[in-house]
Chain A
């Protein structure tokens, strides 16, 4: 049966939907200003902000460019810039 009985599915397929294409503005972080407080990570509705080796990373495959991270950044380290497509 190709369809999962009862309209059920295993996790993993949501990532097929690359919501990054919805974006108009793109977040850019100035690591000079960033204090690594994690607010942007916790606030992101898309689970698309992460930190690795002291760097804040945006997963642009999924970031919808809502700007919550920039709005909430207390160090004002994130700016939203218009993206060229």
Chain B
């Protein structure tokens, strides 16, 4: 049913509809409204789950490992410093092949302390073995939770996934969103059937250590599974589209890419502003387009290459900084790599860090920079305070 609600509450509704048996999280801005709402649902009997109010993010995700290993579907959510505190567990979850879904309300990392949005937190954990989904608006990020569980729990995947959305910009925005009914989600997402579980009737040892004779093979298997996760996400996105009319079979989404002279590549809520800016630019005769990345891990290299084929210039909008790297942003080099063998020029623009607002005029200015071949830089620095 289409209703208006805060992004965080829509995420909480989505989590509830997925029927997690255990919810374990630690509050952190700007994720708090999600876990507060889930706590209310449990308190009111709307959600039949064990809600563990834990001591830290380290414990939150560790609890999820235990519950998942014991055979339960679990849910957690975090942001920023919280994700960093659980970083060791994040890698562990993927290696242990537990299909945990966790919402990430994207927020900058300290120091300096910032509660505001960028995507440094999840981007920094891109190599942890989780699949990464990024939502552009409240509807997309809500729907991605259903797709994430469905893909994660496939037995040829069995990997965890982040559902990422920009903190405050989406988590705290009220807008109309269609929340499916429980019956609809039950039809889309069957109960979790574990592949391995802790069970006294059929004992196994989970999370053993591997000597050099085995370690690489386990890592290889995890990478293979993550590649298969891409197919599973696509298939789940297609099925979701058939059931709900919102198709997410693509890992990318192209906007006005026909005959584009400059293409933006971006993740998350900025894509909406970029689309409006593109409409204005097109009206003024500037042929700009956008390829939105919805699935960042596994990286949709082939799909991006196809979407960007024939575009002279690509401007990657980066809400992250890969400190010390040549291109500055972390996404740019991967886009460039996907376009190897073409003459397409790829530039990264670090933008909107720590909650710096991004306006249509900024997007237009970046298009002009890309046209001139100027990039791999911070955009919008306040040089007067440097």
Kindly state the separation between the CA atoms of A1 and B214 in the bound complex, as whole angstroms: 14
B96: chain A residues within 8 A (beta carbon):
6-7
CB-contacts of A1-21 with B (<8 A): 1, 3-11
B95: chain A residues within 8 A (beta carbon):
6-7
Kindly state the separation between the CA atoms of A3 and B95 in the bound complex, as whole angstroms: 12
* A5 B97 Cβ-Cβ under 8 A: yes
Kindly state the separation between the CA atoms of A73 and B66 in the bound complex, as whole angstroms: 42
* B204 A8 Cβ-Cβ under 8 A: yes
Known pairs A3-B221, A7-B214, A7-B218 / 8 extra A-B pairs, C-beta < 8 Å: A5-B158, A5-B195, A6-B158, A7-B95, A7-B207, A7-B208, A8-B196, A11-B203
Kindly state the separation between the CA atoms of A32 and B98 in the bound complex, as whole angstroms: 56
* A3 B204 Cβ-Cβ under 8 A: no
Q: How large is the interface on B (under 10, 10 to 19, 20 to 34, 35 or more residues)?
A: 10 to 19
Instruction: Find the B residue at minimum CB distance from A1.
Output: B221
| Central interface residue in A5, A6, A9, by most chain B CB within 10 Å | A6
Q: How far is the CB of A64 from chain B (nearest CB, A)?
A: 20
Instruction: Give A residues with C-beta under 8 Å from B.
Output: 1, 3-11
* A9 B195 Cβ-Cβ under 8 A: no
Q: Helix, strand, loop or mixed for chain B's interface?
A: loop
Instruction: Find the B residue at minimum CB distance from A13.
Output: B205
4 nearest A-B pairs in the assembled complex, by CB-CB distance? A6-B97, A6-B96, A8-B206, A5-B97
* A11 B205 Cβ-Cβ under 8 A: yes
* Partner among B196, B203, B209, B217 whose Cβ is within 8 Å of the Cβ of A6: B196
B217: chain A residues within 8 A (beta carbon):
3
Q: How far is the CB of A80 from chain B (nearest CB, A)?
A: 31
* B97 A10 Cβ-Cβ under 8 A: no
Residue B210 interfacial (CB < 8 Å): yes
Instruction: Find the A residue at minimum CB distance from B208.
Output: A7
* A3 B218 Cβ-Cβ under 8 A: yes
* Partner among B98, B196, B203 whose Cβ is within 8 Å of the Cβ of A4: B196
0/1 interface trace, chain B 91-126, chain A, CB 8 Å (1 if under): 000011110000000000000000000000000000
Kindly state the separation between the CA atoms of A85 and B376 in the bound complex, as whole angstroms: 69
Q: How far is the CB of B202 from chain A (nearest CB, A)?
A: 8
Kindly state the separation between the CA atoms of A7 and B220 in the bound complex, as whole angstroms: 12
Instruction: Find the A residue at minimum CB distance from B210.
Output: A7
Kindly state the separation between the CA atoms of A6 and B221 in the bound complex, as whole angstroms: 9
B207: chain A residues within 8 A (beta carbon):
6-8
Pick 10 A–B contacts, CB within 8 A, sort by A: A1-B221, A5-B195, A6-B196, A6-B207, A7-B95, A7-B207, A7-B210, A8-B205, A10-B204, A10-B205
Kindly state the separation between the CA atoms of A8 and B98 in the bound complex, as whole angstroms: 12
Q: How far is the CB of A38 from chain B (nearest CB, A)?
A: 26
